[in-house]
Amino acid sequence: MKGIDKVSKVLVPFGMAGSVFYIGHFILGAALWPEYSSIADSVSLLTADGSPHASFLHVLTFLFGICQLIFATGMILTCFSRYGRIMRAGALVYIIMTVVSLVGFNIFPMANNVDAGLQNSLHLVTNTAVIFFTMISMYLVSVGFFAFEKMRTMGIVSLIAVIGIAFFGIFHALVGVQGAPIQGLIQRISTSFYHVYVFFISFS
């Protein structure tokens, strides 16, 4: 068990590194593309086929995906060595999400041209699956934390993050239907809950 704990302590901090790459990609992307609006435009537009600097930003999102996968491996090791079935299930769902995210978003990036209806549909399916698996995983992990008295703070943080992602995810969908020019802002707020969760888990 001590050997597993040592390995997981090395792997889990990669979650923070991944979040830095992800946040960096949309900050740099917006700075490099004057016509892009962080308030109105989706994050996916930055790495869409045909967008300026998409190749460079793809490197950052790919590094995010790799770090996320390493972080998920660390979570698997930690949960299987220390915790019960609920936490283990949460870690397994999380690593499924990281694989779907890493593979799906690289195979099906958003496209800017009008003939890319299928590609954009598959991108949307990937995005929906990633959000779904993320929320399920975080909920299971939060329930697992509540089983331990000393970890209830982590359980509360995890639960708040799940609720935040769900609320702003639904809000983002409604805003999209209405065509209000704040989709980018709502998407960033939603993803910020996830990255705060990752930082919190990585530090704990």
Per-residue confidence (pLDDT) for residue 89, from 0 to 100: 95
In the predicted structure, residue 128 carries a pLDDT above the cut 80? yes
Say which residues have a Cβ less than 8 Å from residue 9's Cβ, sequence separation at least 6: 74
Q: How far is CA 40 from CA 5, 18, 198, in A?
A: 44, 25, 26
In the beta sheet, which residues pair with residue 153? none
Which of 43-57, 86-100, 146-160 is most confident?
86-100
Q: What is the dihedral of CA 182, 187, 193, 199, to 10 degrees?
A: -120
In the beta sheet, which residues pair with residue 111? 49
In the predicted structure, residue 60 carries a pLDDT above the cut 80? yes
Alpha-carbon distance of 198 to 201, in angstroms, equals: 5
Q: Is the pTM of this model over 0.75?
A: yes
Whether the CB-CB separation of 123 and 101 falls below 8 Å is answered with: no
Confidence band of 6 (pLDDT split at 50, 70, 90): confident
CA 101 to chain centroid: 8
Alpha-carbon distance of 108 to 117, in angstroms, equals: 11
pLDDT in tens, 21-35: 999 998 999 999 999
Whether the CB-CB separation of 68 and 18 falls below 8 Å is answered with: yes
For residue 44, what is the DSSP state? Answer: G
